């Protein structure tokens, strides 16, 4: 039997504009489309083709993507 991999709920999100990074807890039941950078104040949005800001700018993708499931937010 294969071991089930635990879903990681924390991701370090890095602003592509100023380089500020912050560890944030990802929602497990919804996508996060917007994120206010705590360094420069710019509002981050997902890159084209990504479902959320964590998939675009985080160190860990969102929980549905980690679980190899469709995010369903598109």
Predicted confidence (pLDDT) per residue in 18-73, tens digit: 999 999 999 887 789 999 999 999 999 999 999 899 999 999 999 888 887 666 56
- Between 11 and 51, the more confident residue is 11
Bridge-based pairing of strands 43-44 and 21-25 is: unpaired
Say whether 10 sits in a helix, a strand or coil: strand
Q: Which residues pair with 11 in a beta bridge?
A: 24
pTM, two decimal places: 0.84
């Amino acid at each position: 039997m294969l071991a089930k991999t635990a879903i990681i709920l924390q991701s370090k999100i890095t602003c592509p504009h100023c380089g500020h990074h912050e560890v944030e807890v990802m929602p497990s039941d919804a996508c996060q489309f917007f994120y206010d950078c705590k360094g420069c104040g710019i509002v981050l949005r997902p890159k084209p083709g990504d479902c959320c800001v964590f998939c675009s700018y985080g160190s860990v993708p969102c929980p549905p993507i980690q679980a190899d499931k469709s995010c369903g937010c598109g």
